[in-house]
Structure 1
Amino acid sequence: MTNQLFEAALGIKAPWYVQGVDFDTAKRQLTIAVDFVAGSRFAYPGVTGEHPVHDTQIKRLRHLNFFQHECYLEVRLPRVRLPDGAVRLVEPDWVGQLDGFTLLFEALVLMLAQQMPFAAVARIVNLSWHRVHAICSRYVELALASADLSAVTTVAIDETSYRRG
């Protein structure tokens, strides 16, 4: 019953499922083990079809807090064998852009970073300033890479506030 509750709360859909939940009161941490159904086949971006699982790799991802407790997902991720013989890691769509975080956790950091300094965000989410900066930098890089500036013909700069910083 508890596992199905966490599956619904996390929005995890087949072939993924919650294998188990561990709550450590001393560390104030909730760890949710996420696995996939044996025999599942997975698609890989840029390669047509679904591919068999070659082996697996476990990743620990920081997720949104569970009340005042830090929450981590320990996900068993499949590595699939592609038709050309290459073996590649398949990550579900809820894994973030930076290694070690879920997409929702990164979204929280980005939302907070719009409203306050990185140091304040770091204190709230219990990360270092450098990790907060890395998350924000990664999404700025992605936004700049997808920006189409081909129609820009003129750039203007207003220097009236230069001395005020």
Structure 2
Amino acid sequence: MRVTNQLFEAALGIKAPWYVQGVDFDTAKRQLTIAVDFVAGSRFAYPGVAGEHPVHDTQIKRLRHLNFFQHECYLEVRVPRVRLPDGSVRLAQPNRVGQLDGFTLLFEALVLAQQMPFAAVARIVNLSWHRVHAICSRYVELALASANLSDVSTVAIDETSYRRGHEYLTLVADMQARRVVFVTPGRDAKPIESFAAYLSQHNGTPEQVTSASIDMSPAFIKGVSEHLPNARVTFDKFHVVAHASKALDM
């Protein structure tokens, strides 16, 4: 049994003071459960507090991990709560724990598939659509909170429809970085006002935008002129060609 435990320790990258205490396979549920513990007397660091701290008590966390072949795999980790110098007791999360309770980081990375809809990912990992959505939403929140838009100067603004054309979103892309930096409901001047405010919240200013590519929508023209004062407007060539073709046909 110890050889099996050591094999899983190597596969999972588990290092002292952590170790695999045991492995159990439930044939009926087709689930592999790996129990992870730490050596008695171990001390643990806590973010923002210097040093390593004694264990006060523990909690068992059951974390969904990547599948073991075709079987679901779970880590049952005995997670320590440490006593800090000020007398408070805090949970010392191992680095393999994900952002959403109940999952490992690697499992969350699998769920964050860039080219698959939530429903397809949910079928693959046997989770509900809502759980997959919750994982993805948490990472979107973290990414937005740390966004730095100080270098954004050239943007492209366009709208797209969803819900069978009954609702609209406005998207703003950084043309130099070639990535979407802002999405909001609507397709009038209000989304551009919201983008200007979003810039100010993420290390940027509306004045730093020197070029904006838009369609010939009066609402977008108004939004850029009012909220991106230094932006030179470039009209999307496809809309220009469409208007020219329509004029020639008249």
Pair in the same fold by TM > 0.5: yes
Deviation readout 1:98-130 (Å, 9 max, x if unpaired): 000000000011xx6311110010000000001
Confirm or deny that 1:140 pairs with 2:143: no
Counterparts of 1:148 and 1:57, CA distance in 2: 37
Deviation readout 1:138-159 (Å, 9 max, x if unpaired): 1111111111123446654135
- Seq. identity, %: 93
Gap change, CA 1:28 and 1:163, over 3 Å in 2: closer
Q: Which residue of 1 aligns with 2:157?
A: 157
Stretches of 4+ aligned residues off by more than 6 angstroms: 160-164
Gaps of 5+ in 1: none
Gap change, CA 1:89 and 1:2, over 3 Å in 2: same
SS state at 2:67 partner? strand
Structure with the bigger RCO (C-alpha within 8 Å, sep 6+) is 1
Counterparts of 2:56 and 2:82, CA distance in 1: 5
Counterparts of 1:88 and 1:159, CA distance in 2: 46
Counterparts of 2:92 and 2:61, CA distance in 1: 12
* CA RMSD between the two structures: 2.1
User: What is the total number of aligned residue pairs between the two structures?
Assistant: 162
Structure 2 counterparts to residues 14-163 of structure 1, below 5 A: 14-109=16-111, 113-152=113-152, 155-159=155-159
Gap change, CA 1:118 and 1:37, over 3 Å in 2: same
Deviation readout 1:65-122 (Å, 9 max, x if unpaired): 001110000000000000011100011111111000000000011xx63111100100
Gap change, CA 1:154 and 1:100, over 3 Å in 2: same
Gap change, CA 1:152 and 1:41, over 3 Å in 2: same
TM-score by length of 1: 0.92
Counterparts of 1:157 and 1:87, CA distance in 2: 49
Deviation readout 1:20-66 (Å, 9 max, x if unpaired): 00011111000000000000000000000000000000000000000
Counterparts of 1:160 and 1:33, CA distance in 2: 48
Gaps of 5+ in 2: 165-250
